[in-house]
Amino acid sequence: MAIAIKTVPVLKEEAALKFNSAAEASIAQKSSIKFSKQIAISTKILAKAKI
């Protein structure tokens, strides 16, 4: 028995432009998270545990 192949939804015109701009903005903000405080805490914990 064959399984029906569903069509893939495609963004067009304004929706595609809006999606691309939102995706680019998200990528630009991705590297703004800093974990230096958490890394310092985990380093102290590992040093105390002698790992």
Please tell me the predicted confidence (pLDDT) of residue 44: 94
Residue tagged 């790992």 (tokens): 51
Spatial separation of the C-alpha atoms in residues 8 and 2, rounded to whole Å:
18
Cα distances (Å, whole numbers) of residue 17 to 3, 6, 7, 10, 21? 33, 24, 21, 12, 6
Write the pLDDT tens digit of every residue in 1-51: 788 888 888 999 999 999 999 999 988 876 667 889 999 999 999 999 987
What DSSP designation does 47 have? H
Residue 11: partners with Cβ closer than 8 Å, 6 or more residues away: 19
